[in-house]
Chains A and B, each alone.
Chain A
Amino acid sequence: MQTPPTEDPHEMDPHLAGAAGSATAVASQWQLVAWRFGRHKLAVIALYVIVFLYLIGIFAEFLAPYATDTTRAKYTYAPPQGIGLIVHPPDGGWYFGLHSFGYDITVDEAAMRRSFTPNPDKVIPLGFFVHGEPYRFWYMFDSDLHLFGPTNPKDMVYLLGSDRLGRDILSRLIHATRISMSIGLVGVAISLCLGIFLGSISGFYGGRVDTIIQRVIEIVSAMPTIPLWMGLAAAIPLGWPPTRVYFTVIAIVSLLGWTSLAREVRGRFFSLRGEDFVTAARLDGASEMRIIFRHMLPSITSHILAMVTLAVPAMIIAETSLSFLGIGLKPPVVSWGVLLQDAQNLRAISNAPWLLLFPSLAVMLAVLAFNFLGDGLRDAADPYDA
């Protein structure tokens, strides 16, 4: 059937028609993608949120007031403390000063729990760039400078509450951000390599290679992920060092994540293989490598970027779920999932809802941001489809 001349009012879009004269005429793919992406306000905000989360991960030691394992048995399940700006000292008058109030602790013997009441007389002065617990930043620099904390290093302050051992949730959350967000990134990187490798082989060669790879993908994606992950993760020996567990968990998580990427890459390759411009490149005498890398890959990189962004949340959720079940990352490593492990039963949650609340919010924020970003990228990925 012949291609009929089209008559689509959008063809007469003055924006497109005038393109020949404007900056769009000489705009490369990435400029067009960036322009289109910029129109998605939500996606742009999401991008900032993600950058912010990764910055937290990078500077965790500096940002967190305490280390992950600083325990104070006295402050078991201390609720979040407020921050005040104006101090009323007992001798009257007032002055400006960032502060929290210390707790009066009473032990309820019958209920086996402590109750905390803020005492306005126990002012804990807070400040920025304070000296506190010493730490080693990135295994390289020793320091005790913290962005934020009590000016007296002996004071404890629990802005987001504390856990069973009296550890500061805020500090643990900041450290957990590093682990959980990096798992998303590393996991996706591994999935991506596997996915692109197998997907492009499958899409480029077709035939029997393709059939086999497709069947493997089909089998893996037909299996419900959580039981499968559980089965694999449970085999991690208890005695392994934390870093080894960390990378094994990433491997398990990405082992199942590559299928959708591979499927996408394959689909794109298939449709591209039939495109005239790819045939044209072949007829220009281009080698197969050149066709793949110069002509086909650039056409799908923006799509891959969007896919990858959308795959990160699944990784984060997977790690969180496994760690929550106690078969992923294990203490002393802290991740969002490990934090949520403390919120496993009704008793813990009703005693200390902040154990559930703050890590959950972190997970949701990250997942939401990646989803919005991925959505924006996907819409912007093909700037030529008007």
Chain B
Amino acid sequence: MGRFLVKRVLYMIPTLIGISVICFIIIQLPPGDFLTSVLSSMAESGNRPDQASIDRLTAQYGLDQPIYVQYWRWISGIVFHGDFGWSFDWGQPVGHLIWDRLGITLLVSSLSFVLIWVIALPIGIYSAVNRYSLGDHFFTFLGFVGLAVPTFILALILMYLSFTYLGLNVGGLFSPEYENAAWGLAKFWDLCQHLWIPIVVIAVSSTAALIRVMRANLSDELSKPYVVTARAKGLSEFTLIMRYPVRIALNPFISTIGWVLPSLISGVTITAIVLNLPMAGPLLLRALVSQDMYLAGAFILLLSALTLVGTLMSDILLALLDPRIRYQ
């Protein structure tokens, strides 16, 4: 098990490097280096930068160096000093801007994830065990619809519905009166009222997908010989289905975390933009539009790293559950 863990963590490193390279490419993509944009924005605000400070910035970011040196400065700053660069749009270090928003992003994603599992698992089991029943057809259809609605449209629709029918403005995380209030039960309740929409919105499409995964996996397992063996032991149908096929169908289900997490983070990003939540999404969009590339790069890097960590956790969980992997 320990060996497995070490191997798995080591295996992650090249992937992380690959992701950081892609992020760095994105940072470099806009025409001109960021110094150009700094200079133009400084010029706009009226204070002409002197040559000395231009040289200082050039040296600091290695802009006169080859591209791989620039990459190395950027990545080593992150890895060794936690320095994600400077946000010119905000005039602050990137590090000051991202952590709060990533924290809430993580919180909402995790809650959505829990919701997805709590819904998808039992429905998937039900659908597989009662294949082609009325309920199965109903959930299958619902799943198709859930997959067909893009996350942001769902967010818009829910926003519209809750505004017209419930009179709630669900944008943001808090109602204006609680925005700056001290934490208390009332504020928490207000948060919950705002939080449920993004959580549900983000959960829908992955839930639909996972129901189908569970249904397909379990249907396969239900026809396996070991189920007949269990039945021949005299176990009750419920016990044997939960103890054997469900237990085994759980493994591929867990490994879906690998693609559920990226899509969850995607959903969280766009939903936050639509609902204007203080999460990574809106800030990322703003950074991209204003070409505040270090900020944007940091977000993309960290959001990707988040999914990698999630995948690592799912692999560990899988190894705990499945001796075949553990004993490799």
**Could you list which residues of chain A lie within 8 angstroms of chain B, going by C-beta atoms?**
215-216, 218-228, 230-232, 234-235, 237, 313, 317, 320-321, 324-327, 340, 343-344, 346, 349-350, 353, 356, 360, 363-364, 367-368, 371-372
Give bound CA distance, A264 to B256, whole Å. 16
Please determine whether A368 and B148 come into contact, CB atoms closer than 8 angstroms.
Answer: yes
- Does B207 belong to the interface (CB within 8 Å)? no
A215–B18 CB distance below 8 A: yes
Q: Residue B270 contacts which of A231, A235, A321, A367 (CB distance < 8 angstroms)?
A: A321
Q: 8 pairs across A/B with beta carbons < 8 Å?
A: A219-B18, A223-B19, A224-B266, A224-B269, A346-B163, A349-B156, A364-B149, A367-B148
Contact A324 B152, CB 8 Å, known A222-B262, A230-B288, A234-B288: yes
Contact partners of A344 in chain B: CB under 8 A: 274
Cβ of B160 and Cβ of A356 under 8 Å apart?
Answer: yes
> Are A222 and B285 in contact (CB-based, < 8 A)?
no
Chain B contacts with A in 141-181, Cβ cutoff 8 A: 144-145, 147-153, 156-157, 159-160, 163-164, 169, 171
Is B192 close to A, CB under 8 A?
Answer: no
A224 to B270, CA, bound (A): 11
Contact A223:B304 (CB < 8 A) given known A231-B26, A321-B152, A325-B270: yes
Chain B contact-residue range equals 35 or more
> Could you tell me the distance between the alpha carbons of A225 and B150 in the complex, rounded to whole angstroms?
13
The answer, among A222, A225, A368, for a CB contact under 8 Å with B144, is A368
CB of A231 within 8 A of CB of B296, answer yes
Which listed residue, A226, A232, A324, A367, touches B266 by the CB 8 Å rule?
Answer: A226
The 10 closest A-B pairs by CB, nearest first: A234-B288, A235-B29, A226-B266, A219-B18, A224-B265, A231-B26, A367-B148, A368-B148, A224-B262, A223-B304
User: Are the C-beta atoms of A327 and B150 separated by less than 8 Å?
Assistant: no
Q: B289: CB under 8 A from chain A?
A: yes
List chain A residues, Cβ under 8 A from B261: 224
A residues in contact with B171, CB < 8 Å: 346
Interface of B is mostly: helix
Let me know if B103 is at the binding interface, CB within 8 A.
no
Minimum distance in angstroms from A350 CB to a CB of chain B: 6
A350 CB contact (under 8 Å) in B145, B157, B164, B288? B164
| B214 within 8 Å of A (CB atoms) | no
State in angstroms the CA–CA spacing of A326 and B152 once bound together: 13
- Decide if the interface of chain A is mainly helix, strand, loop or mixed: helix
A346–B26 touching, CB < 8 Å: no
Partner of B263, one of A224, A340, A363: A224
B299 lies within 8 A of A372 (CB): no
B46 at the interface (CB under 8 A from A): no
**B289 near A346: Cβ-Cβ < 8 Å:** no
CA distance A368 to B140 in the complex (A): 12
The answer to whether B266 touches A221 (Cβ under 8 A) is no
Q: Which residues of the partner chain A approach B285 to less than 8 Å between Cβ atoms?
A: 230, 325, 327
| Nearest opposing residue in chain A for B18, CB measure | A219
CB under 8 Å from chain A, chain B span 279-315: 280, 284-285, 288-289, 291, 296-297, 299-300, 303-304, 307-308, 311
B82 CB–A CB distance under 8 Å: no
Of residues 30 to 82 in B, which have CB atoms within 8 Å of A's CB atoms? 30-31
Return A324 CB to nearest CB of chain B, in Å: 6
- Give min CB distance, A183 to chain B, whole Å: 14
Query: Contact partner of A223 among B262, B270, B289, B297, CB < 8 A?
Result: B262
CB-based contact A231/B266 at 8 Å: no
Q: A219-B18, A228-B22, A232-B26 are in contact. Are A360 and B266 (CB under 8 A)?
A: no
B273 interface contact, C-beta 8 A: yes
B130 at the interface (CB under 8 A from A): no
Which of these, A223, A320, A326, A350, contacts B160 with CB under 8 Å?
A350
Which residues from chain B contact A221 at a C-beta distance below 8 Å?
259, 262
Contact A367 B147 (CB under 8 A): yes
- Distance between Cα atoms of A343 and B152 in the complex (Å): 11
Question: CA of A367 to CA of B148 in the docked complex: distance in angstroms?
Answer: 5
Query: Chain B CB within 10 Å — which of A216, A228, A231, A363 has the most?
Result: A231
Q: A222-B258, A227-B303, A367-B149 are in contact. List 10 more A-B contacts (CB 8 A).
A: A224-B263, A227-B265, A227-B300, A234-B291, A237-B31, A317-B150, A325-B285, A360-B153, A364-B148, A368-B145
Q: Is B15's CB under 8 angstroms from A215's CB?
A: yes
CA distance A248 to B284 in the complex (A): 21
Residue numbers in A under 8 Å from B303 (CB-CB):
224, 227
Q: What is the bound-complex CA distance between A220 and B26, given in angstroms?
A: 13
Which residues of the partner chain A approach B266 to less than 8 Å between Cβ atoms?
224-227
Chain A residues with CB under 8 Å of B2's CB are none
* B residues less than 8 Å from A231 (CB atoms): 23, 26, 29, 288, 296-297, 300
**Pair B157/A222 contact, Cβ less than 8 Å:** no
Q: Is the CB of B159 within 8 A of A225?
A: no
- Which residues, 2 to 23 on B, are CB-close (under 8 Å) to A? 14-15, 18-19, 22-23
Residues in B neighbouring A216, C-beta threshold 8 A: 18
B17 and chain A: residue at smallest CB distance: A219
How far, in angstroms, from A320 to B159 measured CA to CA in the complex? 19
Rounded to whole angstroms, the CA-CA distance of A37 and B34 in the bound complex is 55
Closest-CB distance, A364 to chain B (whole angstroms) = 5
Interface contact B270-A225, CB-CB below 8 Å: no
Least distance between B137 CB and chain A CB atoms (Å): 11
Would B144 and A371 count as touching, CB distance under 8 A? yes
Q: How far is the CB of B308 from chain A (nearest CB, A)?
A: 6
Distance, CA A349 to CA B19, complexed state (A): 38
**B30, B148, B270, B299: which has the most chain A beta carbons within 10 Å?**
B148
* Given A224-B263, A224-B269, A356-B156, A350-B149 contact (CB < 8 Å): no
Q: Is A372's CB under 8 angstroms from B144's CB? A: yes
Given the known inter-chain contacts A321-B152, A350-B160, please indicate yes or no for A219 contacting B269, CB distance below 8 A. Answer: no
B299 touches A224 (CB 8 A): no
By a CB distance below 8 angstroms, the chain A residues around B30 are 234-235
Contact A350 B263, beta carbon cutoff 8 Å: no
What's the Cα separation between A228 and B265 when bound, in Å?
11
Set of chain B residues within 8 Å of A324, measured between Cβ atoms? 152
A44→B147 CA distance, assembly (Å): 19
- In the complex, what's the smallest C-beta–C-beta distance from A220 to chain B, in angstroms? 8
